[in-house]
């Protein structure tokens, strides 16, 4: 039942500035036509439904619902407090076409995003995060998880030189998947039209892990690998490389990698050779995962990126960047 409350508010003329100011009541929302309690109810409903649906349900304007939800999310951030992270994850997210990126920084221990900003994925944009966090809390960071983007490494090394850098497993395996796809394309170009039928439309069958394939996908993959020896070798190498992250000593991990790279000889798999050279150049950031104190949830950053894409897709794209920022930062926070 909709209830209207009629209240008299005092208005005071300030003798210093000459402005007329109105009395503020603590129980009113930023939009004074509604109470904070109602605003928090609307914000809580918007966590699981679109703004348009809530507006139709409560007989409100679309912009009113959005304004009330933004107040709700700001209150969530206020109650969460200022973060003091020990382990952070850094990644970029595309907010629109033409390579428009923003940087997302997450607290991997508390498993929530703590910063969304910058103007691109450059070193200067990441510098803004460390400036926002402050020198004292930056000094408390012991581990930074990121991809192999040079700008992120440079900024982190400058602001937190004592922190260890760990390259995200999923970004490394993405490069390995690109190498396997390059082999697939070269084999498709080399073979005649008669033999191409085994390779055609099998890109995602090759790139998907065996455990995640359907029965039909496993049958197609078996047929493909039996028909093409080079793709069979490349697929086995791709599947076995994931063992690298199971070691607890860097020496054993290095021995595994050297044996894996040695198996590339005489295989004529140039994309895999380039991938192995890249791993060798960035070895320190990959081997950091062998240390027990660096065993963190590497999938959280990638999962957060998927959640952000769901938020954008549900809204058919978000043009209000401040609204998107609040949505991202409160995605993992508990409701009020």
Quote the number of domains for the chain.
Answer: 3
pLDDT reading at 158 higher than 70 = yes
Please report where in the chains the tokens 């992270």 appear, as a residue.
85
Average pLDDT in the 281-301 region? 87
3, 74, 84, 333 from 39: Cα distances, Å: 14, 12, 29, 17
Is the CB of residue 336 less than 8 Å from the CB of residue 43?
Answer: yes
DSSP 8-state symbol, 298: T
Q: Chain-wide mean pLDDT for the chain?
A: 89
Last residue of some domain: 80, 115, 132? 80
CATH at residue 142:
3.30.420.10
Q: Kindly report the CA angle at 43 between 42 and 49, in degrees rounded to 5?
A: 85
Structure tokens belonging to residue 320:
């209000």
User: Could you read off the pLDDT of 81-138 as tens digits, one per residue?
Assistant: 888 999 999 999 888 877 789 999 999 999 999 999 999 999 999 999 999 999 999 9
Q: Are residues 94 and 76 in the same domain?
A: no
**Helix/strand/coil for 334:** coil
Nearest CA to 131 out of 103, 108, 150 is that of 103
Q: How far apart are CA 314 and CA 307, in angstroms?
A: 11
Q: What are phi and psi of 294, to 5 degrees?
A: -100, 10
Q: Are residues 203 and 247 in the same domain?
A: yes
pLDDT reading at 230 higher than 70 = yes
Q: What is the pTM of this model?
A: 0.83
Q: Are residues 159 and 175 in the same domain?
A: no
Report the length, in residues, of the chain: 336
Nearest CA to 143 out of 159, 165, 123 is that of 165
Average pLDDT in the 17-38 region? 89
Nearest CA to 286 out of 193, 206, 176 is that of 176
pLDDT value, residue 161: 92
The Cβ-side half-sphere exposure at 80, using a 13 Å CA radius, reads 25
Q: Give the residue with greater pLDDT, 198 vs 272.
A: 272
Nearest CA to 107 out of 125, 93, 91, 89 is that of 89
Please report where in the chains the tokens 């999310």 appear, as a residue.
73
Q: Give the residue with greater pLDDT, 261 vs 320.
A: 261
Q: Which range of residues forms the domain containing residue 183?
A: 170-291
Last residue of some domain: 80, 113, 140? 80
Question: Is 335 part of any domain?
Answer: no
Nearest CA to 95 out of 310, 323, 301, 321 is that of 321
DSSP 8-state symbol, 96: E
Strand pairing partners for 145? 89, 166
Question: Is 19 part of any domain?
Answer: yes
pLDDT value, residue 157: 94
Question: Is 336 part of any domain?
Answer: no
pLDDT range class, residue 294, cuts 50, 70, 90:
confident
pLDDT value, residue 316: 65
């Amino acid at each position: 039942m909709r209830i209207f409350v009629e209240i008299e508010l005092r208005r005071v003329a300030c003798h210093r500035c000459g402005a007329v100011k109105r009395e503020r009541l603590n129980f009113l929302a930023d939009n004074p036509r509604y109470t904070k309690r109602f605003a928090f109810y609307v914000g809580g409903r918007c966590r699981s439904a679109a703004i348009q649906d809530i507006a139709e349900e409560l007989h409100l304007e679309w912009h009113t619902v959005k304004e009330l939800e933004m107040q709700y999310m700001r209150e969530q951030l206020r109650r969460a407090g200022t973060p003091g992270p020990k382990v952070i994850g850094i990644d970029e997210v595309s907010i629109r076409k033409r390579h428009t990126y923003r940087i997302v920084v997450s607290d991997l221990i508390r498993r929530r995003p703590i910063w969304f900003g910058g103007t691109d994925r450059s070193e200067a944009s990441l510098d803004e995060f460390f400036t926002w966090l402050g020198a004292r809390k930056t000094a408390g960071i012991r581990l930074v998880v990121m991809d192999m983007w040079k700008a992120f490494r440079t900024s982190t090394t400058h602001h937190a030189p004592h922190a260890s850098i760990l390259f995200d497993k999923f970004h490394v395996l993405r490069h390995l998947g690109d190498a396997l796809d390059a082999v697939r394309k070269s084999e498709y170009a080399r073979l005649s039209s008669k033999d191409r039928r085994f390779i055609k439309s099998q890109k995602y069958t090759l790139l998907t892990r065996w455990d995640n394939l359907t029965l039909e996908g496993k049958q197609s993959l078996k047929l493909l690998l039996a028909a093409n020896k080079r793709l069979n070798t490349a697929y086995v190498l791709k599947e076995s490389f994931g063992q690298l992250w199971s070691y607890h000593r860097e020496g054993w991990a290095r021995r595994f990698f050297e044996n894996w790279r040695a198996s590339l000889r005489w295989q004529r798999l140039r994309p895999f050779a380039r991938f192995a050279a890249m791993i060798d150049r960035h070895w320190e950031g990959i081997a950091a995962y062998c240390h027990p104190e660096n065993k963190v949830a590497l999938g959280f950053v990638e999962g957060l990126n998927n959640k952000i894409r769901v938020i954008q897709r549900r809204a058919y794209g978000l043009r209000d960047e401040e609204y998107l920022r609040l949505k991202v930062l409160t995605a993992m926070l508990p409701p009020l």
